[in-house]
Amino acid sequence: MYCELCHTRKLRREFPSDAITDQCEHAPLHCLRCLTEHVQQFHKCSQCPEAVSTTYPRYLQYLATLENLFPKFTASSTAESAEYASEASDKTISVVMLGGDSTVVQYQPFMTVQDLKSFVQTRLGPAPQKQRLLYKEQELKTQTSSGKLATLQDYLVQPFSTLHLIVVLYEISDSLDHVIFDLFWGYPTRGRDYLDASVLIYSGQCFQAKVDYGTRFFTGSAVYHSGDVMDDAKCLGHHTINVKLKSLPPAVDKLFFTLSAWMSPNISKYKNPSLRFFDAKETNKQLCSDQMQHAAYSQAIIMCSLSKINGAWKVFSLRTLSAGNAMNYAPLQETILKEIILKGLC
């Protein structure tokens, strides 16, 4: 993610999970370090005039989070410092997620893909079995066709290359047909308001159709949109989308699930756009979930995709910001094509 105050791209965990006060009417777009330093110096939120004391519980919580993220470290010897400097100057590769998080790995041609995934887990969080690593549109498997552990050299990964990481939220078994995507958001601080959940359907690189509040069906009931479902008691808005996998046309291999602002110029005032995924036969059993904790000054989020890869349907976390909304899908289609499909990410 990009901090609007220090103008630096940082990991998602370096940002607060919510605004510093309940009265703030904006998404948290400043990193924890910038926010806490601003409060310490000016005794107010870094994004608005709301007063914040240095004894405020959420401020103290964010200080503690920073301390856990960046514990104080002192090199125990000159030799250790020299070794660290030597390692820092070595060749590296970058691992980048669509949502903006990234990490740098020291390049070793004989590093196994399995070890790389374990390292990525310590830096970015997803478990190795949930990681789909791609280099030049080719997925890096942990084993070669002969059964030995695959290395970076096996995939001709070069120093200073960029690898893309897509998180697999769920792999759908052949026995599962009717699945439900529940996309939801928190109301703004003042009053009920709407985001629009839409599905953009593709065959390869070709856009086929959209399903949204206005066009609620695709191919009979293969894809079905619920319309607005507003929970005023919990201050949550929902759009539920049903997909019958075996009723989809054979050529359809990608469905992209988006949330976009209708009347508002951006999604910043809506709290935590999120996703839940269910088997329609067991709606009390959640199969997976995903959350974009930090809404931003963008019209839309491409939350996830349902993609068929090597004959198996998988749910991928995307968390990709885009222009466009239910009145104008062209910018969303451009983002999906250029930033996701043409790069071989889904």
Which helix (H) or strand (E) covers residue 49, if one does? none
Q: Could you read off the pLDDT of 123-152 as tens digits, one per residue?
A: 888 999 999 999 998 999 999 989 899 999
The CATH number given to 172-341 is 2.60.60.30
State the CATH class of domain 78-169.
alpha beta
Residue 333 has a pLDDT of 97
pLDDT of residue 287: 81
Question: What's the rounded Cα separation, in Å, for the pair 70 and 107?
Answer: 24
Q: What's the pLDDT tens digit per position in 64-106?
A: 788 777 655 444 444 444 444 444 447 889 999 887 788 889 8
Between 44 and 235, the more confident residue is 44
pLDDT at 270 over 50: yes
For residue 194, what pLDDT is reported?
78
Write out the DSSP string of 177-240. -EEEEEEEEEPPSSS---EEEEEEEEETTEEEEEESSSS-EETTTTEEE---EEETTTTEEEEE
User: Which ranges in the chain are annotated with CATH 3.10.20.90?
Assistant: 78-169
Model pLDDT, residue 81:
41
Q: How far apart are CA 34 and CA 22, in angstroms?
A: 19
Band (pLDDT 50/70/90 cuts) for residue 24 is confident
Q: What is the pLDDT of residues 215-267, one digit of tens each?
A: 999 998 899 999 888 888 888 888 999 999 999 999 999 999 998 988 777 78
Per-residue confidence (pLDDT) for residue 8, from 0 to 100: 80
CB 93 within 8 A of CB 160: yes
pLDDT band at 289 (very low <50, low <70, confident <90, very high): confident
Q: What is the pLDDT of residue 210?
A: 96
Average confidence score pLDDT of the chain: 86
Q: What is the pLDDT of residue 293?
A: 60
Domain ranges in the chain with CATH number 2.60.60.30: 172-341
- Answer yes or no: is pLDDT of 19 > 50: yes
- Taking each helix axis from N to C end, the angle separating 57-69 and 32-42, rounded to the nearest 10 degrees, works out to 140
Determine phi and psi for 113, rounding to 5 degrees. Answer: -60, -35
Length of the chain: 346
Distance CA 138, CA 277 (A): 28
* pLDDT computed for residue 73 by the predictor: 41
Amino acid code (one letter) for 103:
T
- Residue predicted with more confidence, 68 or 204: 204
Residue % of the chain over a pLDDT of 70: 91
Residues 198, 212 contacting (CB under 8 angstroms): yes
**Average pLDDT score over residue span 164-178:** 91
106's CB contacts (< 8 A; 6+ apart) are 87, 90, 91, 92
pLDDT at 71: 58
Whole-number pLDDT of residue 74: 42
Specify the residue for token string 């903006």: 100
Distance of CA 278 to CAs 45, 179, 216, 241, Å? 39, 6, 19, 10
